[in-house]
Homo-oligomer: A and B are copies of this chain.
Amino acid sequence: MLLRMSTLFLRTLREDPADAEVPSHRLLVRAGYVRRVAPGIYSWLPLGKIVLENVARIVREEMDRMGAQEVLFPALLPREYYEKTGRWTEYGDTLFRLKDRKKADYLLGPTHEELFTDMVKGEYSSYKDYPVTLYQIQTKYRDEARPRAGILRGREFVMKDSYSFDLDDDGLKRSYEQHRDAYIKIFDRLGMNYKIVFAMSGAMGGSASEEFLAPTPTGEDTFVHCRDCGYAANAEAFVTPAPPAYTGERAAQQVLDTPDTPTIETLVDFVNANHGLGITAADTLKNLVVKVTTPGSDTAETLIIGIPGDREVDFKRLEAALAPGEPAIFEADDFARHPGLVRGYIGPQILADLGIRYLVDPRVVSGTEWVTGANEPGKHAAHVVAGRDFTPDGTIEAAEVRAGDPCPVCGQPLIIDRGIEIGHIFQLGRKYADAAELDALGPDGKPIRITMGSYGVGVSRAVAVIAEQRHDELGLVWPREVAPADVHVVGTGKENQIEVATRIAEELEAAGLRVLLDDRSSASPGVKFKDSELLGIPTVLIVGRGLSQGLAELRDRVGGAREEIPLAEAASRVLAAVQAESA
């Protein structure tokens, strides 16, 4: 491959795009890799298309190597597949829905569990057919509420999704581990820095699940990890360690006058000063009312969540805990319809009588005592004891996780970071097999319900994540396997530099290298150097001023090293640099 910049459809930009918040977006647009068409919808220019294909090729090679088989599903899908599993409604506004000319309902596939299940059911029948793993690399659609950061979180994006089909749980675990190994190979080859963290299942329903997260300060996912034991989890999947239940005696419940205590802080100060208590915010129990809608339903359930007063509710954790239910803030008119709930002074003591479900933070174990609302204006109650004065309907992971919180495995303080999800592996279990009645006929003639795994890699997102992790102030710095070319040969000057550069580029192409050649006669050396840094090809060979002395310059875009080399050795030195890295 030899791309000549004199004719290449590429115009780099000197200015950052106005809507770019993160480096990958800024640089991929400036370097002419992608262009925006609509919110979360992008076009790929020639260099971007090559990078995208390189990522897809690496993913494909590793999927093939693990024995997965490639298929291709349509993106436009009839409603009936998703109706059967309930996802037609569960997906809510995130699903792009449309009608065809006959008014039949269709959707644009956000993920293809239903289709894969149906395909296997159509082809396979005997236990001898299994296991099988299928995958596709395909364009997917999700109508994200907040598409952002260029191709990092798009509404149309390329994804590899695969599904394993096994006869039993051990088989599923093996398939899961194979995917985990393949993903490690994929992300290593993509030159990514990543962490494997425990994950929630979201709207998917199932058991074991891990995410591959690329740590970046601009990431949308929060995750915790423990330096001591290696535990790592998405914040949504973090499980709060519960203290032991307290079985000793507790003082009797006591209602306190607490005027002018609109915040936890004022409440703590007031009760310590006026009622002789010695509490901190962590001893108070604050109660958040939400209304929860199940997609497809018109009515909302009122739900109250109790968490220690020193913590905020993490709405993403709350949403994950309630999914597919969607929580919303309880508004003034909702309160008006529930006169039993005294806004600002809600306590759990009366919720059983009101018939309102009450879920608590895992720290609120039996026997713990709290200062909380007394369900009267201006009053709080002290010595309100869990299990005695109220009985929660269960626990919920809705409180924020904080740096320094104890690791649920080893108890050491946790670290909190942000990252971008680049892969997800997931033991789905039998949810979709149940919906489709996917059975294999067993050796004894009895049906065996198939168990499935679901595994995703964001292919277009990976391009952005690599750019996010591998750039400097001058531009992109691609890892070689992903880069649009192995070497960027730049000819600068008014003599025969471009001619010589072209000759070397052709020689390198003949040797099997992918070459980008700057043979523009109109651009200045400064422009060419700047473009070379912006484009980020790992090895750069410059044929410039040194030509008259028989010299060229070899630059390593990654390490930054620059070296004058004899022109006669230019091709062999480039080859050596490329091969050294590929080895």
Among the stretches A33-41, A238-246, A274-282, A464-472, the one at the interface with B is A33-41
How many angstroms from the CA of A101 to the CA of B147 in the assembled complex? 12
Q: Contact mask A1-22 → B, CB, 8 Å, 1/0?
A: 0000001111100000000000
Residue A43 lies at the interface, judged by CB distance under 8 Å to chain B: yes
Residue A93 lies at the interface, judged by CB distance under 8 Å to chain B: yes
How many angstroms from the CA of A169 to the CA of B72 in the assembled complex? 41
User: Chain B's nearest CB lies how many Å from the CB of A206?
Assistant: 23
How many angstroms from the CA of A70 to the CA of B35 in the assembled complex? 14
A→B interface (CB under 8 Å): 7-11, 32, 35, 37-38, 41-46, 48-49, 52, 67, 69-78, 93-94, 96-98, 100-101, 106, 108, 115, 119, 122-124, 128, 132, 134, 139, 141, 143, 145, 155-156, 522
User: Chain B's nearest CB lies how many Å from the CB of A67?
Assistant: 7
How many angstroms from the CA of A55 to the CA of B194 in the assembled complex? 36
Contact among B49, B98, B122, B123 for A70, CB-based, below 8 A: B49
User: Chain B's nearest CB lies how many Å from the CB of A345?
Assistant: 37
Contact among B8, B11, B143 for A101, CB-based, below 8 A: B143
Are the C-beta atoms of A122 and B41 separated by less than 8 Å? Answer: no
Chain B: CB-nearest residue to A41? B74
Q: Determine the chain B residues whose CB is within 8 A of the CB of A141 once the complex forms.
A: 76
User: Chain B's nearest CB lies how many Å from the CB of A225?
Assistant: 34
Are the C-beta atoms of B71 and A49 separated by less than 8 Å? Answer: yes
- The verdict on A46 contacting B74 (CB below 8 Å), with A35-B119, A96-B98 known, is no
Which of A69, A124, A145 counts the most chain B CB atoms within 10 A? Answer: A69
Number of copies of this protein chain within its complex:
2
A–B complex contacts, Cβ < 8 Å, 11 sampled: A9-B134, A11-B123, A32-B123, A38-B74, A43-B72, A43-B74, A45-B123, A48-B72, A74-B156, A76-B156, A100-B155
Are the C-beta atoms of B49 and A72 separated by less than 8 Å? Answer: yes
Are the C-beta atoms of A128 and B522 separated by less than 8 Å? Answer: yes
How many angstroms from the CA of A139 to the CA of B97 in the assembled complex? 18
Q: Determine the chain B residues whose CB is within 8 A of the CB of A97 once the complex forms.
A: 98
User: Chain B's nearest CB lies how many Å from the CB of A32?
Assistant: 8
How many angstroms from the CA of A522 to the CA of B125 in the assembled complex? 15
Chain B: CB-nearest residue to A4? B67
Q: Determine the chain B residues whose CB is within 8 A of the CB of A132 once the complex forms.
A: 7, 9
How many angstroms from the CA of A145 to the CA of B128 in the assembled complex? 42
